[in-house]
Amino acid sequence: MSDCGREAGRAMRGERDEHDSGRYTVSNFLSGREIYESILITLTRLSVIIFLLITCGAISASAGAGEKPRHVVVMVWDGMRPDFVSEKHTPALYQLARQGVEFEDHHPSYLSLTEGNGTVMSTGVYPERAGVLADTEYRPAIDGLTPVHTELLEVVRKGDAVTRGHYVGAPTMVELLRKAGRRTVVAGSKGVILLADRTEGEGCGPGIELFAGQTLPTNLINTITNLNGAFPEVDAEQISRDDWTTSALINPLWSNGVPDFTFLWLNEPDHAQHETGPGSAQSLAAIRKADDNLARVLQVLDERGLRDTTDVMVVSDHGFSTISAMVDLAESLERAGLNARRGFSKPPAPGEVMVVGNGASVLIYVIGHDAQVVKKVVDYLQGWKCSGVIFTKNAMPGTFTLAQVHEDSPGAPDVLVSLRWTAEKNDAGTPGMVYSDLSQYGAGQGIHASLSRFDMHNMLIAAGPDFRSGIIDHLPTGNMDIAPTVLWLLGVKPPKDLDGRVLTEALTVPGPKIKSYEPGHIESSAARPGGAWHQYLNFTEVNGVDYYDEGNGYQLRSALAAREGAEASKR
Ligand SMILES: [Zn+2]
């Protein structure tokens, strides 16, 4: 842990660590020469602090919640659906909601996946700026033959090497907080948390980062394993990865005090819901364990007398669905005459197609961006029974552009398709069924990533001194609003405007005013032999932020049916 941020932060808030008290004072019992040296040391320290304040940007920080001491804890329950928050299954979270604010209409960014939402949550900007759309992408500059997992350390490092440090396209809130002199601790039982803070000893020094049993700085892991044992296997039940990571957060990562900002990311209930479907007995048990870990964190805050000065936000990265049937889009495109692959054995030629499945959404990259091949892919998708909503880089009949949904990042695919979903129920009675592209999971198991309303609604509950008490926020909110709100609460102004908004309506402290609220609906159709393809997308705009509610599509047998379908989707 660098002293840079810590010292600058203290200086800015006028605080002084009790263990350090007297370091900057001159004792009455010092000799003249000692007094001179003390003054010199004091001046040197002050100039270092002032230098750090300037270079680390703390002087430019503006106060949102004021200069009072404040801690913020953001805890992510991966894949938690809002409809599973209850007194029975999540007693600690339920109680927290009663004390604070329950956000009734919270949204992930699309794609409703972990890594994209981890990046959006961390940066407060749309995926087109944040730069990571999906868990798995084809990034030829990183690997020309095989899709990469966007959260892996080696991918992140290579991504930064080929983009001069812009693998994540905007500064993260953790980076901004550290530059402004705030202490941060980031811990997650899965790799996504690396995207929140991938710094390795630069600028104001690294924060503390624990991701999937690895650490930055790297030697920190020894301290953790000496105390808590080795990082458990993924299926360990006695002490799960989430239990271990929460333990590591409490001790040793919080042993020197709860920092200004803590970001904790749990693996559950995502893992159990993938294996057994949302609402299964195993998934409900995993939700209960996530709640137990929340209770442990809250208990430490209580024991240290910090609940009155700590804002706690519990959020999930995306919703969840059940797989209605497994399909193989690469094989289907190949059968349709396209040269489609899930990996290349040698550098691909123009016109070859890379299909990258991400569960209920699929990214399709056409080598050389050949317009005729793109058209063939779109034609196929518009006749395919599994297509939900089709996006393309360039405008085409019966698609939306990637730019329309803020997805047109530098590495974006040529075609993106969200698979078709229904509100039907699974065996456990949980609504939300969706097709899934080839993956390790099959029919009846869980998946997400689509524009289904069940994937596109997730959970946010927040309580603490800066949040209103016992209210339900009915306004649409999203994961993109987490970073702007955290920065506001900690009084740090980002260098550039963020795309998300401060959740003013939920706060007891003043924030930017809510100026606009506008439900939106777009649709697109394309004629097909004997009928048409039709798709729609519903969203709401608040203060210039677009929140996507749901989108789907279907084939219609005649032009008359197309018109009727268009009317029906408006209702
Ligand atoms: Zn996730």
* pLDDT at 235 exceeding the cut of 80: yes
Confidence of residue 26 (pLDDT cuts 50, 70, 90): very low
The C-alpha atoms of residue 360 and residue 135 are separated, in whole angstroms, by: 12
Position 564 scores a pLDDT of: 59
Helix H or strand E encompassing 488: helix 482-489
Confidence of residue 30 (pLDDT cuts 50, 70, 90): very low
Position 163 scores a pLDDT of: 95
* pLDDT at 189 exceeding the cut of 70: yes
Whether the CB-CB separation of 130 and 196 falls below 8 Å is answered with: no
Encoded tokens for 410: 């530098």
Q: 4 CA to middle of ligand 1, Å?
A: 33
Q: 405 CA to middle of ligand 1, Å?
A: 20
Encode pLDDT of 308-338 as tens digits.
999 999 999 999 999 999 999 999 999 999 9
The one-letter code for the residue type at 68 is K
Encode pLDDT of 259-288 as tens digits.
999 999 999 999 999 999 999 999 999 999
* pLDDT at 31 exceeding the cut of 90: no
Position 63 scores a pLDDT of: 39
* Domain boundaries, given as residue ranges, for the chain: 71-129+172-320+457-506, 323-450
- In this predicted model, which residue has the larger pLDDT, 413 or 529? 413
Q: 270 CA to middle of ligand 1, Å?
A: 6
The answer for residues whose C-beta is within 8 angstroms of residue 82's C-beta and 6 or more apart is 104, 106, 316, 319, 457, 458, 459
Whether the CB-CB separation of 260 and 71 falls below 8 Å is answered with: yes
The C-alpha atoms of residue 545 and residue 548 are separated, in whole angstroms, by: 10
Whether the CB-CB separation of 176 and 487 falls below 8 Å is answered with: yes
Q: 79 CA to middle of ligand 1, Å?
A: 5
Q: 265 CA to middle of ligand 1, Å?
A: 10
Q: 526 CA to middle of ligand 1, Å?
A: 34
Confidence of residue 67 (pLDDT cuts 50, 70, 90): low
291 CB burial (10 A radius; 0-12, 13-18, 19+): buried
pTM attached to this predicted model: 0.86
Q: 12 CA to middle of ligand 1, Å?
A: 36
Fold entry, domain 323-450 = Gyrase A; domain 2 (3.30.1360)
Mean pLDDT of 418-446: 97
Position 88 scores a pLDDT of: 96
Q: 238 CA to middle of ligand 1, Å?
A: 23
Mean pLDDT of 89-103: 98
Mean pLDDT of 228-255: 94
Q: 134 CA to middle of ligand 1, Å?
A: 11
Mean pLDDT of 226-251: 94
**Of 529, 482, 527, which is closest to residue 506 (Cα–Cα)?**
482
For helices 482-489 and 114-123, what crossing angle results, to 10°?
30
The C-alpha atoms of residue 67 and residue 240 are separated, in whole angstroms, by: 38
Residue ranges near ligand 1 (ion) with Cβ within 5 Å = 78-79, 114, 270, 317
The full length of the chain comes to 571
* pLDDT at 570 exceeding the cut of 80: no
71-129+172-320+457-506 falls under which CATH superfamily?
Alkaline Phosphatase, subunit A (3.40.720.10)
Mean pLDDT of 293-299: 98
The answer for residues whose C-beta is within 8 angstroms of residue 32's C-beta and 6 or more apart is none
Q: 121 CA to middle of ligand 1, Å?
A: 12
| Partner residues linked to 71 by β-bridges | 310
Position 201 scores a pLDDT of: 56
Encoded tokens for 556: 């219609």
Confidence of residue 234 (pLDDT cuts 50, 70, 90): confident
* pLDDT at 5 exceeding the cut of 70: no
Taking CB atoms within 8 Å and a gap of at least 24, the contacts of 422-426 are 422/324, 423/453, 423/454, 424/324, 426/277, 426/278, 426/279, 426/322
Q: 190 CA to middle of ligand 1, Å?
A: 9
The C-alpha atoms of residue 388 and residue 537 are separated, in whole angstroms, by: 10
Position 567 scores a pLDDT of: 64
* pLDDT at 170 exceeding the cut of 70: yes
Position 560 scores a pLDDT of: 61
Q: 95 CA to middle of ligand 1, Å?
A: 24
Position 129 scores a pLDDT of: 97
Encode pLDDT of 538-562 as tens digits.
999 999 999 999 999 999 987 565 5
* pLDDT at 39 exceeding the cut of 70: no
